[in-house]
Each structure stands twice: as C-alpha cells, then as structure tokens.
Amino acid sequence: METNKSSNNFIREIIDVDLARGKNDGRVHTRFPPEPNGCLHIGHAKSICLNFGLARDYSGLCNLRFDDTNPETEETEYVHSIQEDVKWLGFDWQERLYYASDYFEKLYEYAIELIKKGKAFVCDQSLEEVRRDRGTITETGKQSPFCNRSIEENLNLFTRMRNGEFPDGSKVLRGKIDMSHPNLLMRDPIFYRIRKVSHHRTRDKWSVYPTYDFTHCISDSLEGITHSICTLEFEVHRPLYDWILDELGIHHPQQIEFARLNLSHTVLSKRKLLEFVQKKYVSGWNDPRMPTLSGLRRRGYTPESIRMFCDQIGVARVDSIVETVVLENCVREELNKKVARVMGVLRPLKVIIDNYPDDQTEEFDCVNNPEDLAMGSRKVPFSREIYIEEEDFREDPPKQFYRLSPGREVRLRYAYFIKCVGIIRDEETGKIKEIHCTYDPMTRGGDSPDGRKVKSTIHWVSNSHALNAEVRLYDTLFNKRDPNDTKEGEDFTVNLNSKSLEVLPNCKLEPGLKTAVKGDRYQFERLGYFIVDAIDSLPGKPVFNRIVTLRDEWAKIERQSKLL
C-alpha cells in the first residue's frame, strides 16, 4: 500500500506537540478497539485508517484489541470477520492482537486496589435504584446507603461476588467519587456487575464482568497506548477515564475524541445493521447494499478506494453527514484507471441488420482502457443480430434524445453506423420485439467516410456470441438522506428503499466475459463498474454486481430526457 502521509488534522497537531515536548519518550502507540458484537462498517474504517495511519506516519505502533467485556452479545464469528476486514483494508497489527478479556485478572486486581484505597465499594442497590438516585444535571445524586461499608467488608463481598455467591443483579462494585459531581458519569459509577453467563473466551471462569469505562482506560494503560482515540460520545467519559488511571497511578494515555462518520442514505450502527440481517431486509452482513466492510467488499469496493475516502473526509470534532456520492467518487476514480472496459447490455432489445450477410461474423478490435493504452485491446465479434440497450431506442424520441429512433442513424461503438428502418411488435402485447436497421459498410470501425456526423454512440453485443448473465443493480438502502428523520412514532425502517436491489436475469455480455472469475472487475461501457459476485457466481456463469454507475454525459442526457 502507498505510504503517503494522510492529510493533517487536529490529532496530528496534538501528537506533534507531544513529540516536541518529549512526552511518552517520543512514542506514538494507538489502538483500534472494536467490540465483537457485529461486523465492521465504513465508520469503523475511518477509525482504523486514523489509528493505523498515525502509527504508520509516526513510526509508531497500533494494536488491535477486542473490547470483549460484554459476554451476552459477543460472538467468535465477529472476531474472525473483524480481523479479516482490518487486513483487507491493508493494515497490520503484527503480533499485537489483544482481548480486553485477557486483562480480567489484572482488572480484578486493580478493582481490589481501589477498594483498599477506599475508592470503590460494593453496593446492593438494583440497577433501577442506582439510576434513580443518580440525580440529573440540575439535581445532585443521593448517596448509596452502602457507600460507607468498611474496606474489609467490601473486600469480602467483592471476593464472594467473584466466587459466584450472589445472584445476577444483586450487587455491583461502584467507584466512590462524588454524588454531586456535575458529570453524571462521575456519580459513583458502576465498575463491576454480576453476570453468570459464559464468555466467548473465558467461558465460565467469571461471574463478574467489568464495565466499559473501567476496562477501557486500564486496557489502554496496560498496552502502553499513548493516544487513545475515540468518537465524540466518549468525551463525557473522559473525566472517569482520567480518574481511574490517576487513582491507580499507572501509565496514563491521553484520550482524544473525534466526530464519528455518518454517511447519507444509510445507517452506521451495528445494532441497526444487525436488525437488518435478523429481519432479512438484506441477505446478510455482506449484502452488497450494506455499509459494512464485508458488504462493500462484495459490492466491489477496493481497499484503496475506502482509504482514499477516509483520507478525503478528514478528521474533525464536528458531527456531519458525508454524502454517499463522495465514497462512490473514490471508487470511480480508482477503477477508471485500473479496470478493463467491456460491452454488456442490461435490458436487451434485439436489432436485426437487414443488409448484413446472414452467415458473416467480423471481429472488431476494442481498446481495453483508453486511459491506459498499455492495457491493450481485445477482439469482439459482430454479426447480423445484435442486442442494444432498450433505453437506447425511442420510437417517439423527445427533444435532445439523440440515440436510435426511426429514420435516425447512430454509431455502434467500434463497429458501424446503423440506421433504424423498421419496428416489429409483439402481436398480442403491442410491445416492440425487435428493431430493423441497415448498416453502412463504409463506416467500418465506426469511422465516418464522408465527414457525416451522428450524434450518438451506443454499445451492443452480438446475439449468437453473447454470454447470458445475471446482473444486480443496487441503490441506497434508504430513500432519505438521514434515515433517522422520521415522524413521531415511526421507526427508521419506514425510510427503507424498496427498490434498493434490482435483479436483471437476462443480460447479454460480450463473450470474453465467460472466463471472468470471482472478484474480477470491469467497466461496462456507459453503465458503470461491475464485479463478479464472490458468492453466487459459478464457473462459466458469472453473476455481476454493479459497484457504481458512471458519472458521465450519458447519465445527464438520460436525466434530461426523462424530464421532457
């Protein structure tokens, strides 16, 4: 991967100052700390690129750490998929793969230390009572009736909590901080809860589990992290992060918050994405419409394009919604230079060229990529019966529609000029069945012999040579730019786009595509970029996903002609 430094941002400025002052002995050590309760999405990519990118640019290190303190929602399956996704994005944690659960013993010891310092106590209140007594922003909280237990009693009870002597929910360990602290999270927060459930790694060893706030700062500290980068919602947690490390007197990383990525027309929340999967709105976490990294990968996005996107959107401290088109432009920009162009017809309309010899086949030399002639050319067969795109013909063309229509001449890309001379309809439905044309043999290769101009060039595929294939077109998952913009009482699912997937089972593709294998990408001229689906394709029977449309003149003309 390229080693270009990413663009400057406020976090880099903080690190530059730290380095200039000799803080952390000049080390930069970050971490990416996913909770294995779902697959990674493009928002996580922003965090991955940031954390691993800083390590790369400052000759530092970045750990991958599974934040697995929540035994109920976590699964090993996600642990694997997260590693695969981080690697696919092009980053390497080397030997530094950690689990917060590896620290359970140490965390427990630190909890004991806080109890011994009189800074933590066992509380018998229920979660509801804790919440009720916490107070509000305007009202101070009420002290727990258990906050004055002796250190000995606390040690005894906490040990017995660990030993499984008390039922779930009957006791918690709380920090003893300040029930009138302006920050509600500092009002004697919960550090441990009793959960007699099996954990994906420690199995049944523990019956108490530490909370996120207690675990995260200590994990960072144990790993020698210097800059603990997280999203803005953790800003209010920072005083607690600092309090715990200060009380324990251990290595103290600096927590820095940045704005999370929001992408238009989709949601970036594992909880909601899991709902899509469970309710079968999509075919799985890797459905090509999902904003997950596995979905984007299957859709045909490249790691380079996602890194380019993360670099372009930058890192700031203000929340905003980034348009999906910014992501699309990144993949367009990359694929434009890299992938071969081919011809494929998605909605075939048969064209018969009346004056072309019935038994003749010609091969035309077609350039693979005009942006890069070193990519060479290929031969594409042409014959009397071809397919063109249904929308490239209008019987009654509106103004500004320059493609094929009765009496009009157009250029077939790389082949000949043809002119429409007749229409055959299905007798029952009246629908156009085929078009009859004549060709001008003098225009071979698509060149005009006499300076005669045609206003349009269209793509085509020879009928007898065509590869029949299924092509899947995708649109955004949601109709609304902000899917959470709903009327009262409505769920965000009301904004789901019912037309987000269109399956075209009978597309006609140029025959060279028979040898396409899973993961191959092409530009279908005028139609966009496509990838051979990694799951549903069979040998010799590729299924294509459209990665993204082209942004070109054709699209504009199409839009205009629809307006007319």
CA 228 to chain CA centroid, Å, is 23
CB of 504 to ligand ATP, least distance (A): 33
Q: Is 347 in the active site?
A: no
Q: Is residue 119 a contact point for ligand ATP (CB under 6 A)?
A: no
For residue 206, give Cα distances in angstroms to 105, 163, 203, 246.
10, 8, 8, 27
Crossing angle for the helix pair 324-338 and 303-313, to the nearest 10 degrees: 130
| Count of Cβ atoms closer than 10 Å to residue 538 Cβ | 8
Catalytic residue among 260, 347, 378, 480: 260
Q: By CB under 6 A, name the one of 6, 24, 43, 393 that touches ligand ATP.
A: 43
Give 1 or 316: the residue with its C-beta nearer to ligand ATP. 316
For residue 489, give Cα distances in angstroms to 486, 494, 558.
8, 11, 39
Positions of E strands within 417-520: 417-425, 432-440, 457-458, 461-462, 467-474, 501-509
Binding piece for ligand ATP, criterion CB under 6 A, among 30-38, 55-63, 504-512, 523-531: 30-38
Q: Is 77 in the active site?
A: no
Q: Smallest Cα–Cα separation from 93: which of 101, 83, 102?
A: 83
By CB under 6 A, the residues from 257 to 296 that bind ligand ATP are 260-261, 268-271
Give 37 or 140: the residue with its C-beta nearer to ligand ATP. 37
CA distance 391 to 435: 13
CB of 220 to ligand ATP, least distance (A): 11
Binding piece for ligand ATP, criterion CB under 6 A, among 32-40, 98-106, 237-245, 397-405: 32-40
CA distance 170 to 42: 39
Q: Is residue 34 a contact point for ligand ATP (CB under 6 A)?
A: yes
Question: Could you give the string, one character per residue 63-102, with x where binding to ligand ATP holds by CB under 6 A and - elsewhere?
Answer: ----x-----------------------------------
CB of 181 to ligand ATP, least distance (A): 24
Dihedral sign for Cα atoms in the order 379, 332, 82, 494: negative
Catalytic residue among 270, 299, 384, 521: 270
Q: Judge contact between 521 and 527, C-beta under 8 A.
A: no
Q: Is residue 300 a contact point for ligand ATP (CB under 6 A)?
A: no
Region for residue 26 given its phi and psi (left: phi exceeds 0; alpha: psi -120 to 50; beta: otherwise): left
Give 46 or 384: the residue with its C-beta nearer to ligand ATP. 46
Give 315 or 543: the residue with its C-beta nearer to ligand ATP. 315
Q: By CB under 6 A, name the one of 73, 83, 202, 231 that touches ligand ATP.
A: 231
Give 67 or 328: the residue with its C-beta nearer to ligand ATP. 67
Nearest position to ligand ATP, beta carbon: 43
CB of 147 to ligand ATP, least distance (A): 31
Sheet holding 543-548, edge to edge: 340-342, 521-524, 528-532, 543-548, 467-474, 501-509, 344-345
CB of 301 to ligand ATP, least distance (A): 17
Tokens at residue 472, please? 């899947």
Q: Is 260 in the active site?
A: yes
Give 165 or 319: the residue with its C-beta nearer to ligand ATP. 319
Q: By CB under 6 A, name the one of 6, 24, 33, 254 that touches ligand ATP.
A: 33
Q: Please return the burial class of 436, using the count of CB atoms within 10 Å of its CB with bins 0-12, 13-18 and 19+.
A: middle
For residue 212, give Cα distances in angstroms to 100, 430, 474, 542.
10, 66, 38, 46
Dihedral sign for Cα atoms in the order 163, 166, 169, 174: negative
Which are the catalytic amino acids?
A: 35, 260, 270
Binding residues for ligand ATP (CB under 6 A): 33-35, 43-44, 46-47, 67, 230-231, 260-261, 268-271
